[in-house]
C-alpha cells in the first residue's frame, strides 16, 4: 500500500525541485557583485536582485499551478463528483 502512495506524492511534488533555482540565484554572490551591465543607470547588482524577486514569485506561481492541476486531475479521476479543485475562499 505504501509504495503507490509515495509514488503519487512524488509525482505531485516533483515541480518543487524548481524552487531550488531562486536559492542558487540569490546566494551565488560572486555572480552578481558587479556594476555592468547597468539598466537605466541602475548597476547590475541592484537590478539583478530586484528582478529575481519577480522571477522567484513567478516560479512559486508555476509550481503552485502545476501542483494544483496535478491534484485536480488525480482527484477528478478518483471521484468525478467530488472534484474540489478550486481551493478556498477569495476574501
Partner 1 sequence: MTLNVTATIVFVALFLFVTWIGFVAARWRKADLNILHEWGLGGRRFGTVVTWFLLGGDLYTAYTFIAVPALVFGKGAIGFFAVPYTILIYPILFLVFPKLWAIAHQKGHVTAADFVGDRFGSRYLGLAVAVTGIIATMPYIALQLVGMEVVIGALGFPTQGFAGHLPLIIAFVILAAFTYTSGLRAPALIAVVKDALIFITIIAAIIIIPAKLGGYGAIFASVPPEKLLLTPPSGDSLGAYSAYATLALGSALALFLYPHSMTGILSSSSGVVVKRNAAMLSAYSFLLGLIALLGYMALASGVDKNSDHAGGFALYGPNYAVPALFLDQFSSWFVGVAFAAIAIGALVPAAIMSIACANLFTRNLYKTFMRPDCSDADEARMAKIVSLIVKVGAVVFILALPQAYAIQLQLLGGIWIIQLLPAVLLGLYTKAFNAPSLLAGWAVGTAIGTYMAATQGFATSIYPLAIFGITLPGYAALYSVVLNLLVVFALSPVFGALCRGTAAEPAK
37 belongs to the binding site for partner 1 (CB under 8 A): no
8 vs 61 by CB, closer to partner 1 = 61
Say which residue the cell 496535478 belongs to. Answer: 70
- Residues ≥6 apart with Cβ < 8 Å to 68: 85, 87
Is the distance from CB of 59 to CB of 22 less than 8 angstroms?
A: yes
Stretch that binds partner 1, among 1-9, 62-70, 74-82 (CB under 8 A): 62-70
- Residues ≥6 apart with Cβ < 8 Å to 34: 43, 44, 45
Per CB under 8 A, the list member of 56, 70, 74, 83 interacting with partner 1 is 56
Residues that bind partner 1 (CB under 8 A): 16, 19, 22-23, 25-27, 29-30, 33-35, 38, 40-43, 45-46, 49-50, 52-54, 56-61, 63-64, 67, 87-91
Amino acid at each position: 500500500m505504501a509504495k503507490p502512495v509515495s509514488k503519487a506524492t512524488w509525482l505531485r511534488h516533483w515541480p518543487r525541485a524548481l524552487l531550488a533555482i531562486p536559492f542558487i540565484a540569490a546566494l551565488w554572490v560572486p555572480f552578481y557583485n558587479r556594476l555592468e551591465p547597468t539598466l537605466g543607470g541602475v548597476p547590475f547588482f541592484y537590478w539583478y536582485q530586484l528582478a529575481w524577486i519577480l522571477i522567484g514569485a513567478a516560479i512559486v506561481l508555476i509550481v503552485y499551478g502545476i501542483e494544483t492541476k496535478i491534484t485536480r486531475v488525480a482527484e477528478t479521476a478518483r471521484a468525478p463528483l467530488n472534484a474540489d479543485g478550486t481551493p478556498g475562499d477569495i476574501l
